[in-house]
Amino acid sequence: MSKETLINNWNTFFNDDSNDENISISLGWGGQLLQHDQNYFSKKELEEFFADDSFGPDELIEAAECCNEFYGMLFDGEITLNVNGKEMNINEKDLLTAELLEIGNSDIDQPDSYAEVAKTFSGSEDWKHEFEIEEEKFDIGKLKICLEKFNVLGYEFKGVVDVEYDGNASETEISDSGLENDRTGIVFYEKSEEGFKKSNEIYDDDFYDLETLQAGVSEWT
C-alpha cells in the first residue's frame, strides 16, 4: 500500500463525523522498559584510570555514566494507537511506508581500539505517550515517532526517544514498578584492517572482582 492509501485508511478508521470535541490520543508500547549508561574508552584512558590504586569497578561505571545513555521503551515492531477509544495496532513496515517513523543510530565511531563499558537495567512497565488536541479531526499524518538504534554489550535494539503530534511533544504516563540490573560489563575491541574485532569481555560478578577486572584491562592494554 502507498503512503497516501495507508494514511487515508487510518484517518477514516479513527475519525467520527459526529466528533466535535477535543481529541485524546494515546500510544502504547507494551513490552519492556530499558535503561542503560554506556561509554567508550581508549587503552590510554584505561591505563590512566587504573594507575590510581583507588580506581575500581564502581569508579569505572561512574566514568561511563551520562555519555551514551537511554531511558525509555523498547520498540518491539509495532505501536498500539488509541484515538478517542478506537484502537489499532500498526506495524513498523507500515509506519515507515507512511513516513511516520524516523530511525536514528546512536553508535559513536571510534578511531582506534576501544573498550565499551555499560550497565543495563530493564523492567516490564506500562509507558504511554499521550496528547489532547483541540481539533475536530485526527490526522495521523501529523504524528512522528522517533526511534534510536542501540548496541549495548552486544545487545541490539530500537528505543523510543520521542513522539510528536503536529510538532508538539507528547506527555508521558509511566507505571514504574522498578528496574532490575540486567548486565554490567566491559567489552574490548581491537582495530584491524577488516574493522573491529572483540578480543575479550568481562561481565557481572567478574566485572566487580577487582583482580579479574584489572587483569583483563592489563592484558588488553
Residue 185 in this model has a pLDDT that exceeds 70 = yes
pLDDT digit string (tens) for 8-62?
999 999 987 655 567 888 887 766 888 899 999 999 999 999 999 999 999 999 9
* Confidence at residue 20, expressed as pLDDT on a 0 to 100 scale: 58
In the predicted structure, residue 86 carries a pLDDT above the cut 70: yes
31 grid coordinates: 513490552
Break the chain down into helix, strand, coil percent, rounded to 5: 25, 50, 30
Half-sphere exposure (Cβ direction) of 141: Cα atoms closer than 13 Å: 11
Residue with cell 485524546: 24
Of the spans 124-133, 149-158, 165-174, 202-211, which averages the highest pLDDT? 202-211
Q: Write out the three cell numbers for 189.
A: 575491541
- In this prediction, residues 89-102 reach a mean pLDDT of 95
C-alpha grid cell for residue 100?
511516520
pLDDT at 124: 73
Q: What is the mean pLDDT of residues 130-143?
A: 88
pLDDT of residue 30: 65
Who has greater pLDDT, 99 or 34? 99
CB 47 within 8 A of CB 219: no
Beta-carbon count within 10 A of 158 CB: 18
CA angle 106, 158, 35 (to 5 degrees): 80
User: How many angstroms separate the CA atoms of 116 and 187, rounded?
Assistant: 5
